[in-house]
Amino acid sequence: VQLQASGGGLVQAGDSLRLSCAASGGTFSRYALAWFRQVPGNEREFVATISRNGKARNYEDSVKDRFTISRDNDKKTFYLQMNSLKPEDTAHYYCAARQTILTAPQSTEPHDYPYWGQGTQVTVSS
């Protein structure tokens, strides 16, 4: 599967953004999906993940009440709605996918995801 992220930009603290990740190739519904982010000099960190059927979602603690991950299997696209953005959310955001069985536990580890998009930059000014 190939992934293409979009939707990043420069916003002010408190604003919202919605990132999208469009997939091509593969059977989209067979993949668990995730968003990660990375600041230069730091390791890539987990943001959110969603199960194959969309019923299970997991978030990093600092974004739990502000970000929402969702998927549209018909459109082969998944999203990260980011509200109440903070300067510390500034990073390059990457979408990722891994093929799993339906009941697999969600993973927050980048090395568990073999498929990655190129990322999109989110910059939040104070």
Tens of pLDDT along 24-80?
998 999 999 999 999 999 999 999 999 999 999 999 999 999 999 999 999 999 999
d(CA 126, CA 113): 33
For residue 31 the two structure tokens come to 């993949």
Give the dihedral sign, CA 18/110/49/61: negative
Q: What pLDDT does 105 receive?
A: 81
Q: What pLDDT does 60 receive?
A: 97
- Under a CB-based contact definition with an 8 Å cutoff, are residues 84 and 124 in contact? no
> Phi then psi for 95, rounded to 5 degrees?
-100, 150
In this structure, the number of other CB atoms found within 10 A of the CB of residue 59 comes to 19
pLDDT band at 103 (very low <50, low <70, confident <90, very high): confident
Residues 15, 45, 99, CA angle at the centre, nearest 5°? Answer: 105
Mean pLDDT of the chain: 96
Residue 98 has pLDDT above 90, yes or no: yes
Percentage with pLDDT > 90 across the chain: 94
